[in-house]
Amino acid sequence: MSQAPSSGNVQSNLHETRFFPPSAEFSKQAHIKSIAEYEALHARSIAQPEAFWAEKAADCFWFKKWDKVLEWNSPDAKWFVGGKTNLCHNAVDRQVEEGHGDLVALLWEGEPMPDGRPEVRRLTYKDLQRETSKCANMLKSLGVKKGDVVTIYMPMVPELAIALLSCARIGAVHSVIFGGFSAQAIKDRVEDGQSKIVITADGGWRRGKVVALKDAVDEALKAGSEAANLVTSVVVVNRCNTNPPMVAGRDQAWDALMAKASDVCPCEQLDSEDLAFVLYTSGSTGKPKGIMHAVGGYMVHTAMTAKLSFDLKPGDVYWCTADIGWITGHSYMIYGVLPNKVTSIMYEGAPDAPAQDRFWDIIERHRVTKFYTAPTAIRTFMKWGRELVDKHDLSSLRVLGTVGEPINPEAWIWYNEVVGHGRCPIVDTWWQTETGGHMLTPLPGATTTTPGSCTRPMLGIDMAVVDETGREVPVNEGGILVCRKPWPSMLRGVFGNRERFIETYWSKVPGMYTAGDGARKDENGNFWIMGRIDDIIIVAGHNIGTMEVESGLVSHPAVAEAAVVGYPHDVKGNALAAFCILRRAIPTGAEGEALKKEILGHVRKELGPTSVPDKIFFTEALPKTRSGKIMRRLLKDVVVGKAVGQDVSTLDDRGILDKLAVAVQG
Ligand code: PRX
């Protein structure tokens, strides 16, 4: 029912006329100070990529310099060939060696203690060097060697960051599983990666309750399974004092092992192309793909992009609210951020515990300067109301970032005004697990932003919107988003599945990386993501990006959040159905009908008649994955009345399907 957009007939009527240049005061102190400077640097980086990336690689730590910047046999890239380095050395040890050992590297804030006091731990770069050395020795004592896959299934506690960096220290390959995933996810990933070691915790705190984790590991490793035969050691951090049963000969306490471990463990000299980690994409369909990243290229790209996108300076207090179980946490809480000599905040709990102003309280108390979150969180904050934000002094903030999905212009404006007080550039960063780091983003001191657009390509990145033959489509026409040139942090493959790697990323447009997203580029050279290609729907011959219709709906003052899906229609081929969460209680009867009409009229005015949904439903909630992405597949099934007996294992709130059924009937 949906297909890749063909060029030429894509409907795109969302026209944004609000522009926000960075202030002169911000630009003056920024790494990149003007759009002219960006354009010159970008043009050079595309014309002479190897010279450009060599320069950026020289900002990182190397035991031995590379012999060759790039070896490119499409689709296989090797970066900084012959170079020897280490991600942990670049993130941690280097800072100690350069005299920044006493700077706080990780500032961890847990859920509040029972007496309401915040629980905070500060680890300096020196502390991190010591702890990762001990943990690395602990892993060695369990038989872990370079190249072995270590599975990590943990809550957001400092030991999680330590575990990642310790793997990096000895060249073990980590495979982090988000703590919200089930036993099945652990089993599948342990087996896919042939992993012998699991690091976990008894549980984590969320809204005052223990979320048990060790139980899920035990379930995943139940006798008889392949996973059970593979795993020889499970290391258990004690976070919640729940004393879970320990399997003799297999399970050991983190504290006891760490107490025995020596704190001397120099970083292993790894080849630039050695595998750094595997991270499984959450993928709404099919078996998750183990995305592989290599040490050197990932290091160079993430360190550079963290510096440029957030304009990081030594001493910044930077907070990324993602979980380390996602790529955002890997790249922009740990590996890209720490090389910039900043304090990275790590938060354990929920945004509404103990109260809905939790985030603003943390920003105020720790004087956060750079803040990075997701549109879904911003829309939730909008719904909770600006009074909660206004109660706090957020004057320390300098840059606001967003990632994960297109941000609706209304949410962008709210973020800018209410959180940033109009003085913090907003960086809407587009990228993917597969790209490792930012690909399209404003640079805060250089780019004039416009709500809803992730603006321009990062330095060194050659993004384009093309048709199936690889030709660029005209301005403002939708097409396939591609990257035309290799980049250092590109995925090196799908773990154990060469065909899937080729088929998913390299078979749609000859010679180019296809991201799976639809996009358009406007007359100013700004990119607009239209959503996953699968979410572009052909209505009466027009390709409609559901994201744009959602933005149209959210720009009505009554609508807090919206999701749009297509469903089969006799006349039009497909029609659109909209699900809206309101900012107020759901009106019923004639009042409800009148509001629906008004909202649809508003969309007609904003986007034109072809984009107006045929059906509109009010709902209390939307089905979301645990990383906050709307599961449109489920909504589509609800609209067509398909019995919902399907796999909803990645769904955050399983009761949601009943609520939706009510919304559709009501
Ligand atoms: O569809 C795009 C959307 O998220 C996808 C990548 O998801 P994942 O690998 O889980 O990584 C999320 C964090 C990087 C993309 O293909 N996406 C991500 N960022 C944006 C976005 N869509 C629009 N605007 C963004 N800024």
- Residue 180's pLDDT is what? 83
The residues near 594 (Cβ < 8 Å, ≥ 6 apart) are none
What is the per-residue pLDDT for 293? 98
Q: What is the pLDDT of residue 654?
A: 62
If you take atom 8 of ligand 1, which residue's CA is the nearest one? 432
> Does residue 284 register a pLDDT over 60?
no
427 lines ligand 1 (CB under 6 A): no
pLDDT score for 646: 52
Measured in whole angstroms, how far is the alpha carbon of residue 248 from the centre of its chain? 38
Going by C-alpha positions, the residue among 423, 364, 357, 356 that lies closest to residue 393 is: 364
Nearest to 461 by CA among 432, 433, 486: 486
What is the pLDDT, as a whole number, of residue 157? 97
Contact 432 CB / ligand 1 (< 6 Å): yes
Ligand 1 atom with the shortest distance to the CA of 529: 23
pLDDT in tens, 188-204: 999 999 999 999 999 99
405 contacts 546 by C-beta, under 8 angstroms: no
Residue 431 Cβ inside 6 Å of ligand 1? The answer reads yes
Helices (H), 509-566: 546-554
Q: Pick the residue whose CA is nearest to atom 15 on ligand 1.
A: 432
**Confidence (pLDDT) at 649:** 54
Helix residue ranges, H only, 423-545: 498-505
For ligand 1, the distance from its centroid to the CA atom of residue 636, given in whole angstroms, is: 21
Over residues 598-638, the pLDDT tens digits come to: 999 999 888 888 889 999 999 988 988 777 778 888 888 88
Higher pLDDT, 432 or 281: 432
Distance CA 451, CA 15 (A): 10
Query: Can you name the residues that pair with 236 across neighbouring β-strands?
Result: 200, 253
How confident is the model at residue 185, as a pLDDT?
Answer: 87
> What whole-number distance in Å separates Cα of residue 415 and Cα of residue 13?
23
DSSP bridge partners of 275:
294
Q: How far is CA 519 from the centre of its chain?
A: 19
315 sits in the region (left: phi over 0; alpha: psi -120 to 50; else beta) called: left
Q: Is the CB of 517 under 6 A from ligand 1?
A: yes
The answer to whether the beta carbons of residues 300 and 80 sit under 8 Å apart is: yes
* Residue in 323, 403, 534, 626 to alter for ligand 1 test, most ligand atoms within 8 A of Cβ: 403
Integer Cα distance of 202 and 217 in angstroms:
10
> Looking up tokens 């089930």, which residue turns up?
182
Q: Assess whether pLDDT exceeds 50 at residue 11.
A: no
User: Which of 428, 529, 632 has most ligand 1 atoms within 8 Å of CB, for mutation?
Assistant: 529
With a 6 Å cutoff on the Cβ, whether 281 touches ligand 1 is yes
Nearest to 8 by CA among 475, 509, 524, 608: 475
Angular region, 628: left φ>0, alpha ψ -120 to 50, beta rest: left
Determine the distance separating the centroid of ligand 1 and the alpha carbon of 530, expressed in angstroms: 11
| The predicted structure's pLDDT at residue 582 | 94
- Judged against a pLDDT cut of 50, whether residue 65 lies above it is answered with yes
Distances in Å between the alpha carbon of 457 and those of 39, 77, 293, 407? 10, 20, 21, 17
Confidence check: pLDDT of 44 > 60: yes
Cis peptide before 75 (omega within 30 of 0): yes
366 contacts 358 by C-beta, under 8 angstroms: no
284 ligand 1 Cβ < 6 A: no
Q: How far is the CA of 403 from the centre of ligand 1 (A)?
A: 7
* Ligand 1 center to 532 CA (angstroms): 9
Is pTM beyond 0.85? Reply is yes
pLDDT band at 6 (very low <50, low <70, confident <90, very high): very low
Question: 59 is written with which tokens?
Answer: 């900002």
428 touches ligand 1 (CB under 6 Å): yes
How much of the chain, in percent, has pLDDT values that exceed 70?
A: 94
Model pLDDT, residue 192: 94
- Predicted pLDDT at 629: 78
Q: Using one digit for the tens of pLDDT, what is the confidence trace for 351-388?
A: 998 899 999 999 999 999 999 999 989 999 998 999 99
pLDDT in tens, 524-537: 999 999 888 877 78
Is residue 484 predicted with pLDDT exceeding 90? yes
Q: Is 529 in the pocket of ligand 1 (CB under 6 A)?
A: yes
How sure is the predictor about 273, in pLDDT bands with cuts at 50, 70 and 90? Answer: very high
pLDDT digits over 377-424, tens only?
Answer: 999 999 899 999 999 999 999 999 999 988 989 999 999 999 999 999
Handedness of CA 305, 311, 315, 319 (dihedral sign): negative
The predicted structure's pLDDT at residue 67: 98
Calculate helix-pair angle for 656-665, 632-639, nearest 10 degrees: 40
Q: Is the pLDDT of residue 148 over 80?
A: yes
Contact 272, 90 (CB under 8 A): no
> Distance between CA atoms of 430 and 406, rounded to whole angstroms?
8
**Average of per-residue pLDDT across 271-299:** 88
Decide whether any atom of ligand 1 lies within 6 Å of the 534 Cβ.
Answer: no
| pLDDT given at position 103 | 98
Residue 111: the pLDDT is 84
Mean pLDDT in residue range 453-478: 96
CA distances to 578, 640, 647, 655, 656 from 644, rounded to whole Å, are 19, 11, 9, 12, 11
Mean pLDDT along residues 544-558: 88
Per-residue pLDDT at 181: 83
* Ligand 1 contact via 405 beta carbon (within 6 Å): yes
Q: Please give the distance, rounded to the nearest whole angstrom, from the Cα atom of residue 433 to the centre of ligand 1.
A: 8
CA of 175 to the centre of ligand 1 (A): 20
Q: Report pLDDT for 414.
A: 97
Question: How many angstroms does the Cα of residue 257 sit away from the middle of ligand 1?
Answer: 38
Please state, as a whole number, how many other Cβ atoms lie within 10 Å of the Cβ of residue 569. 14
Nearest to 357 by CA among 402, 390, 395, 379: 390
Q: What is the pLDDT of residues 348-360, one digit of tens each?
A: 989 998 899 999 9
pLDDT in tens, 634-660: 888 888 877 455 555 556 666 777 778
Residue nearest to atom 21 of ligand 1 (CA): 405
Across the chain, mean pLDDT equals 92
Q: Is the preceding omega at residue 354 within 30 degrees of 0, hence cis?
A: yes
Mean pLDDT of 45-63: 98
Average pLDDT on 222-243 reads 96
- For residues 387-413, one letter each, b for 16 or more C-beta atoms within 10 angstroms of the residue's C-beta and e for the rest, the string is ebbeebebeebbbbbbbbbbbbbbbbb
Taking 50 as the threshold, does the pLDDT of residue 8 lie above it?
no
- The distance of Cα 447 from the centroid of its chain, to the nearest Å, equals 22
pLDDT attached to residue 98? 97
CB 91 within 8 A of CB 335: yes
Q: Contact, 440 vs 456, CB < 8 A?
A: yes
Closest residue (by CA) to atom 26 of ligand 1?
430
Specify the 3-state DSSP secondary structure of 299.
helix
Model confidence at 113, pLDDT cuts 50, 70, 90, reads low
Q: Which residue has the higher pLDDT, 499 or 541?
A: 499
Of 438, 517, 533, the residue with max ligand 1 atoms within 8 A of its CB, to mutate for a pocket test, comes to 517
Share of the chain above pLDDT 90, in %: 77
At 194, the amino acid letter reads: Q
Q: Stretch 117-140: mean pLDDT, rounded?
A: 95
Whether the CA torsion 614, 617, 622, 628 is positive or negative: it is positive
Our answer on whether the CB atom of 430 is closer than 6 Å to any ligand 1 atom is yes
Dist. CA 192–CA 291, nearest whole Å:
12
Locate the ligand 1 atom nearest the alpha carbon of residue 531 and give its number: 1
Distance CA 594, CA 599 (A): 9
Task: For residue 39, give every residue at least 6 positions away whose Cβ sits within 8 Å of its Cβ, in sequence order, or none.
Answer: none
Contact 610, 569 (CB under 8 A): no
